Amino acid sequence: MLPPRQFEAQAPSQRWVGNTTELLVGTSGKLYLAAILDLFSRFIVGWAVSAVNDRHLIIKALEMALKRRCPDAGLLHHSDQGGTYANEDYQAVLGKHGITCSEGMPGRP
């Protein structure tokens, strides 16, 4: 059973949220931005941009956040249940760092 969603934190790197958004470039181009926000500071702690919305994009954002913040085990990371966040490669990175995954409804944070 997953922990209940809590969108407040008492200290840095206790709770992060991740999401991906599509950016339109010109009249026909697209880029995808994956970002991870620390709920304590409301600061973007990791991000990545790519022409492809896949697991590599969000893993890059997560790795940047991990490198910049070095969180302790027990961090709660919330995202939607999109295929990229549910991907076993992404889940493996979370597990390797002792991060608990909390997911919202599919397509919704």
The enclosing domain of 59 has a CATH number of 3.30.420.10
Residue 88 lies in a domain: yes
Contact 47, 34 (CB under 8 A): yes
Note down the domain range covering 68. Answer: 15-103
- What is the pLDDT at residue 17? 93
Domain count, the chain: 1
Contact 38, 16 (CB under 8 A): yes
Per-residue pLDDT of the chain (109 residues; tens, 9 = 90+): 555 556 777 888 999 999 999 999 988 899 999 999 999 999 999 999 999 999 999 999 999 999 999 999 999 998 877 778 888 899 999 999 999 887 654 444 4
Contact 59, 89 (CB under 8 A): yes
Residue 5 lies in a domain: no
Give Cα 76 to chain centroid, integer Å. Answer: 11
Q: What is the pTM of this model?
A: 0.84
